[in-house]
Amino acid sequence: MAELNFTKLNPESHLLLDQPLLRLPVELSRKNFKLTAVHVEHDKKHLLGALKATANDSFSGKKDPSETLESLDNMINRMKNLKRKMEGFHEEEKTTHRQTRQRLEHLHDLYQIPSLADVKYDEWSRIRLNRLLADYLLRNGYSESARALAKEKSIEDLVDLDVFVQCHRVEESLRRGSMQECLAWCSEHRELTRKTSNTLEFELRLQQFIELRRKGHLMEAQQHARKFISSNVEHKNPEVQRAAGLLAYSPETKVEPYRTMYSKSRWDFLANLFLKTHHELFSLPTRPLLHFALSAGLSALKTPSCHSKYASSSSNASSTTTTVCPICSTELNELARSLRHVQHNKSSVEYDPIVLPNGRVYGRDRLLEMSAKVGLEEGRVKDPTTSEVFDISQVRKVFIS
């Protein structure tokens, strides 16, 4: 019965790691809907105004029939352009719905698995591992590798390829010193970020001002500041004042904060700010999901003795024991060093525990058997971890209370 409870699968605990799997399609649908509404409202307002003006001019005789027909043709062309945009949004929506359906089916499969020992759980876990690896590759810029992995494992609808490819393209353009792609992204998503405390577009406009000042284009810099920076004086007065101060300092200045504002490292700041804004907008975690999974797994397996100087044979040459603990392995020992270890409510000990003078506890029979195998004389025991040798009279029996 205890074994059955131990292997019983709890789907809810597994889904804690998979929240972004469903959250992103929802955010994409919301974005698609808002952008569709913006385009429809904008063109509706323009077309109704144009239609009313054309009708009034036609009835009053201000326009001849050819001019009226030209105005109507322009309105028809505008409606055709709107139709093409709507078709594009519709295709995006169909793709989002298909991905959502596939993801729901993937998560539903987990609820059909009764036990951790079930073969189907191994298959489901392998699919999730491939998803986490693809997510890690995408976040680190290995888009083609992620795409190849997703295609080979048939998990394209479970991986956010297009979202991260676009994100990485904009990020790289900022690190190269180009703002055009990021400004276009801000323009496209302005309706979505308007109600948030987003500073990305302001920082980009400020960077444009800095570049104009760096090139010595003072008049253009002042015009740019009046158009894009001065309008934020109520909310960002200190930043606006520092921007104005740049006009008095050359790019070679050593005076702070202007030296930092002229620094090339500001491009990295903008790239990181874009990533933060992008991930917040689409409800994406700032770290790869693989990091969360590794942290949870390593912490669950870690014990206080894993980083002891007497840890195991894999990390301590003086040890005579062999361990199967993954945290004590050479590959994972350093990776888990900064993580906390979990509190284990259950533990197992030998039926005849004894304590050595150095404070380490072992089973008496196992310790005597091992000491005999390594060639110690009778009445002597060897600590298998530290290799210290003690007289049997120094050993004390342990009573568990």
Long-range contacts of 66-70 (CB under 8 A, 24+ apart): none
pLDDT score at 309 = 62
* Residue 4: band (very low, low, confident or very high) from pLDDT cuts 50, 70, 90: very low
Is residue 209 within 8 A of residue 225, CB to CB? The reply is yes
pLDDT score at 31 = 87
195's CB contacts (< 8 A; 6+ apart) are none
Residue at token pair 């054309």: 54
pTM of the model: 0.74
In this predicted model, what pLDDT tens digit does every residue of 353-401 receive, in sequence order? 889 998 888 888 888 888 888 888 888 999 887 888 999 889 998 887 6
* Run of H or E including 87: helix 65-111
The answer on pLDDT for 189 being more than 80 is: yes
- Rounded CA-CA distance 139/284 in Å is 11
In this predicted model, what pLDDT tens digit does every residue of 50-72 receive, in sequence order? 888 888 887 777 778 888 888 88
- Rounded CA-CA distance 37/26 in Å is 17
Q: State mean pLDDT over 249-259.
A: 89
Strand, coil or helix: what is 168? helix
pLDDT score at 308 = 66
Is residue 143 within 8 A of residue 165, CB to CB? The reply is yes
Euclidean distance between the first and final Cα of the chain, in Å?
26
pLDDT score at 234 = 66
CA distances (Å), origin 266, targets 171, 209, 210, 235, 376? 13, 13, 10, 21, 67
The answer on pLDDT for 3 being more than 50 is: no
Angle between helices 119-139 and 161-175 (to 10 degrees): 20
pLDDT score at 6 = 53
Residue type, position 280, single letter: E
pLDDT score at 191 = 78
In this predicted model, what pLDDT tens digit does every residue of 190-205 receive, in sequence order? 877 777 778 899 999 9
How large a percentage of the chain has pLDDT more than 70?
A: 92
Q: State mean pLDDT over 330-348.
A: 75
Q: What mean pLDDT, rounded, does the chain reach? A: 85
In this predicted model, what pLDDT tens digit does every residue of 204-224 receive, in sequence order? 999 999 999 999 888 998 898
pLDDT score at 51 = 86
CA distances (Å), origin 276, targets 36, 167, 194, 269, 287? 25, 11, 16, 11, 11
Residue at token pair 């206080």: 304
Is residue 206 within 8 A of residue 245, CB to CB? The reply is no
* Residue 344: band (very low, low, confident or very high) from pLDDT cuts 50, 70, 90: low
- Rounded CA-CA distance 264/271 in Å is 12
Q: State mean pLDDT over 138-144.
A: 91
The answer on pLDDT for 312 being more than 70 is: no
The answer on pLDDT for 144 being more than 70 is: yes
- Rounded CA-CA distance 125/293 in Å is 12
Q: State mean pLDDT over 135-162.
A: 93
* Residue 318: band (very low, low, confident or very high) from pLDDT cuts 50, 70, 90: very low
- Rounded CA-CA distance 131/21 in Å is 10
Q: Which two tokens stand for residue 307?
A: 């980083």
Is residue 29 within 8 A of residue 96, CB to CB? The reply is yes
Indicate if the alpha-carbon torsion angle 57, 60, 62, 63 is positive or negative: positive
pLDDT score at 236 = 73
Instruction: Flag the least confident range among 101-110, 259-268, 343-352.
Output: 343-352
